[in-house]
Every structure is written in structure tokens, then in C-alpha cells.
Amino acid sequence: MESTIEVSGLHKRFGSTTALDGMTFTVSPGVITGFVGPNGAGKSTTMRVILGLDTADTGDALIGGSRYRELRQPLRQVGALLDAAALQPARTGRNHLLWLAHSQGLGGSRVDAVLGMCGLQPAAKRKAGGYSLGMRQRLGIAAAMLGDPAVLMLDEPFNGLDPEGIVWMRGFLRDLAAEGRAVLISSHLMSELQDTAGHLVVVGRGRVVADTTVAELVETASGDRVSVRTGARTEAMAALADVGATVATTDRDTITVTGLPADRVAALLGAAQVPFSAVSAHRATLEEAYMELTRDAVEFRGDHSEQVR
């Protein structure tokens, strides 16, 4: 099986609310794809449609070319974590994994293997109802890993993890992607994905607003802006505006220049004998890029042809 997720043209309405509005993207093997967007953007609905839990009004969601409902022993092909709290609290963590394993024709030895993999061995025989949110996340990851699947799909996997857990989760997911698996992780916080995801699918209002790599996204958001720190703000603005750059005041001793590279700005200011203490290329954070994109998605709502890429 090819380890991919292909989502094309999903539409779904709940009553008068449009949940999915032409959701289209592809998750490739060997890379962690971040699936980001504000709450209510359609991330969880998309994942449920991919897993055959919800039915889309139109459109297709394929895993390695097949619909989820056509898969035999699907956990051997797709591992999913939707809601870490979806447990019968009276069952022990190990028994929760055991029934799942049995449903895929797997045995207790595989359960013990994934428990070890996720560091849950000490808590395995305790009731899952007493687990912390972080332990439940680990149990959810263990469940997703039961069938050693080629495709992994995790909804908000960092929720409730302590800093040590976050570090563990990042490393774990990177290793999985490095093995050639397709990994899709959703989050409503871009910061969680900054150092983890290689590819990003940004969604807003039920459709994709950006489908790009992390580097491209940051570059696009940064633009060719340059920050200049100077005591002679008026003179600096005059000198730069003369050569056609757009100049804006950021605060009392900083201006932002658009349309010129940093070295050219420095040269121009030097030639005009305007004193300055620093000239630096502005670098947007992923968070800023994300905010900008999702703000656009809100601003351009109703205009379906608008696609920020």
C-alpha cells in the first residue's frame, strides 16, 4: 500500500453550517504534515471523514488509494488518534489496547510492545479512568501504533503533554516519518508544529488556505522587509523614499522598509549620511505567518476564488 492520504473536494454541511467547503490536500510519506487552522476550521471533521466515521456530502478521501471503509483490518494501515479521552474508564490501559489488538487479529505481545514504545508499561494495569491527560495521549499513540501502520493521523497529539512529553512526542513522530510513514498531525497552535512539521496544510472555514512547506510559508510571510533602527527617522525615511521604497514607522526609533534588500538600505543610508544603529532583514515567525493567513481566510470569506498560496 502506498502510504498517502488524498483528500479531494470534500463538502459537508451540518444543517445550515458549512463544515467542509472543498477541502483538498495530499499527505505524502516520509514527512510530518501539520494540519493547522483555528478551532472550527474543519480539521476534526476532515479526519472523521477520512476514517469513514462521518460521510461527506461530496468529495473523496482515500488512504493509499482506497476508501477507509474498504480496508480490511484498517489499523494495520492507518493509525489514528482522535480523542484521547475516548476510553471506558473502568478498563485498564492494557485491556483497552488488548481489545483493539484482538479486533485486528493481533495478540497481547504486540500490546506489550506498543506499551513499551510509549513508556506506559508502569501504568499498563491501572484503570485508564485514572490516567492524566498526558498518559491518555500516550495510550492513544500506543493504540495508533498497534497495527504498525504506514499512515498515522493524530488530532491534537500535544494536548495535555508536559514539556518532557512534548519533546518525546516530537522525537517519536520524527522517527516515524523518517521510517517512510505518512504522518498527519492537527493543531490549532502553530507553535507546536514549528519545529516538527515539514509540510503544512493551513485551513480556515472548511477549506485549505495554504498548502506549503514551513520554509516557504515563513518566507512568504516575511516578504522583503527590512527594519532600520535610527535616531534620525525623518531623514532616513526621506532618503529611502527617494529611491521608491515603501517606508513605514514602526515605533519611535524604528522604521520598516519594503522593496529593498538590507545591504542596499545600508548603502543608501550611508550615502545620505543618515546615522543608524541597526539594519536587519525582518523574519516572520511561523505564528505570524499563520495569523496572517487565517486572518485572510476570515477577511476573504465569501470570495471562494481567493486562494492564498
Residues that bind other proteins (CB under 8 A): 1, 48, 51-55, 68-69, 71-76, 80, 82-83, 85-92, 95-96, 98-100, 102-107, 109-110, 113-114, 116-117, 143, 147-148, 150, 179-181
Output the smallest distance, CB 155 to other proteins, in A.
11
Q: Which is nearer to other proteins, 42 or 297 (CB)?
A: 42
In terms of Cβ atoms closer than 10 Å to its own Cβ (0-12, 13-18, 19+), residue 197 is: buried
Output the smallest distance, CB 73 to other proteins, in A.
6
Output the smallest distance, CB 75 to other proteins, in A.
5
Output the smallest distance, CB 102 to other proteins, in A.
4
Output the smallest distance, CB 117 to other proteins, in A.
5
Q: Which is nearer to other proteins, 51 or 232 (CB)?
A: 51
Q: Which is nearer to other proteins, 174 or 264 (CB)?
A: 174
In what order do the strands lie in the sheet containing 17-27? 17-27, 5-14, 58-63
Rounded Cα distance between 256 and 248, Å, is 5
Task: For residue 150, give the DSSP letter.
Answer: S
Nearest to residue 281, comparing CAs of 303, 256, 250, 304?
Answer: 256
Q: What are phi and psi of 290, to 5 degrees?
A: -65, -45
Note whether 202 and 42 are within 8 A (CB). Answer: no
Output the smallest distance, CB 116 to other proteins, in A.
7
Three-class SS state of 274 = coil
CA 155-159-162 angle, to 5 degrees, is 145
Q: Which is nearer to other proteins, 1 or 308 (CB)?
A: 1
Q: Which is nearer to other proteins, 107 or 223 (CB)?
A: 107
Q: Which is nearer to other proteins, 82 or 217 (CB)?
A: 82
Output the smallest distance, CB 103 to other proteins, in A.
3
Rounded Cα distance between 118 and 140, Å, is 9
Output the smallest distance, CB 202 to other proteins, in A.
25
Rounded Cα distance between 80 and 139, Å, is 12
| 94's grid cell | 492494557
Q: Which is nearer to other proteins, 117 or 232 (CB)?
A: 117
What contacts 24+ positions apart, CB below 8 Å, involve 250-256?
Answer: 253/229, 254/227, 254/228, 254/229, 254/230, 255/227, 255/228, 255/230, 256/225, 256/226, 256/227, 256/228, 256/282
Q: Which is nearer to other proteins, 72 or 252 (CB)?
A: 72
